Amino acid sequence: MNLRAQIDALESLAKLDASLAKLEAELQREGEVLADKKSQLKRLEERFESTRATVGDMDRTRGELMTDARQMSLQMDRSREKLARSRTEREVNAAQREIEELRKLYRDREIEIEKISGLAEQARVEMDGASSERAVLMGDLGANESQLAVLLGSLEKSVAAEREKRKELVKAVPPVLYRRYEMVRKRRGSAVAWTFHGTCSACHISISPMMFQRLRRGEDFDQCPSCQRILYYREEPEPSETEEDSDGRESESAV
């Protein structure tokens, strides 16, 4: 295979790889969007169920405390009756101590009931918030999931078709050259560059006059001393390509 045919094969492979990279990036991005929404929904459902279980536990605890408080209130009534029937100072003192202890325990229960009631109300507010977020997200998923699924299916087909084309293009590239191409592409994202005025089209670094003349004579490929991309000479591009190249430089400078 002559040098021109190898250059044509490399250019075709580089264009297809650039197109394939965009498709794969879009496929990954859209897949992550769908997966993220499903993950959010799962977390909201778990949060809702956990909060609901917590509210149930607090309601049961509050019920038990209220039962204790009612029993203590009944005990205080009986202690007051006992106090009213007391005949000796010893009986009076014992009944009063019993009433004071019951009052203290009753106040403690009231404080606990109030505290748990406040926490339960906060938990209910949180549960309502999680329920609202879940409803919004489920509505969003319901409206867009089928559309996203269609888009993902279309992208997967496009990626599969591009990969099949790539297999055929790879056959047209000599194995040694292809191995070099893949090594650079995995490091740089793209592996091919050209020169027509002594600079690399990819990194815009000037190459040595000796290398430029060798490339210009069409003797062989070389590698850019700066970015290591496979470098070849081609005739001066059309004005539109020159403008694109200039825009690319301005974009890189801006970054």
Q: Which residues of 34-44 are buried (b: 16+ CB within 10 A; e: fewer)?
A: beebeeebeeb
Does residue 249 share a domain with residue 155? no
Does residue 185 share a domain with residue 119? no
Averaged pLDDT for residues 70-99:
90
The tokens for 164 are 């099949």
The domain total for the chain is: 2
Q: What is the pLDDT of residue 109?
A: 92
**75: pLDDT strictly greater than 70:** yes
Does residue 185 share a domain with residue 137? no
Per-residue confidence at 142, pLDDT binned at 50, 70, 90?
low
Does residue 238 share a domain with residue 220? yes
Q: What is the mean pLDDT of the chain?
A: 85
d(CA 4, CA 11) in angstroms, rounded, equals 11
CATH number (domain holding residue 123): 1.10.287
Quote the domain boundaries for residue 61: 31-166
Q: Kindly state whether residue 244 falls inside one of the protein's structural domains.
A: yes
Does residue 156 share a domain with residue 77? yes
The structure's pTM equals 0.55
Q: For residue range 23-43, list pLDDT tens digits in order.
A: 888 888 878 888 888 888 888
Does residue 133 share a domain with residue 39? yes
For helices 175-188 and 3-85, give the axis angle rounded to 10 degrees.
Answer: 40
Q: Kindly state whether residue 24 falls inside one of the protein's structural domains.
A: no
Q: Kindly state whether residue 67 falls inside one of the protein's structural domains.
A: yes
Does residue 206 share a domain with residue 112? no
Sign of CA dihedral 200, 204, 206, 209: positive
> Contact, 231 vs 194, CB < 8 A?
yes
Does residue 86 share a domain with residue 69? yes
Does residue 152 share a domain with residue 236? no
Does residue 181 share a domain with residue 156? no
Q: Kindly state whether residue 6 falls inside one of the protein's structural domains.
A: no
Q: Kindly state whether residue 184 falls inside one of the protein's structural domains.
A: yes
Does residue 213 share a domain with residue 190? yes
233 φ/ψ angles, rounded to the nearest 5 degrees: -95, 140
**Radius of gyration of the chain from its Cα atoms, rounded to whole angstroms:** 39
200 φ/ψ angles, rounded to the nearest 5 degrees: -75, 130
Which residue, 21, 2, 44, is CA-closest to 188? 21
Which of 148, 166, 184 is a domain's end point? 166
Q: Kindly state whether residue 54 falls inside one of the protein's structural domains.
A: yes
> Contact, 126 vs 51, CB < 8 A?
yes
Does residue 107 share a domain with residue 231? no
Q: For residue range 147-186, list pLDDT tens digits in order.
A: 777 777 888 888 889 888 898 889 888 899 899 999 999 9
Q: Kindly state whether residue 1 falls inside one of the protein's structural domains.
A: no
> Contact, 65 vs 112, CB < 8 A?
yes
Which of 166, 192, 218 is a domain's end point? 166
Which residue, 252, 250, 212, 171, is CA-closest to 5? 171
Which of 166, 192, 221 is a domain's end point? 166
Q: What is the pLDDT of residue 133?
A: 84
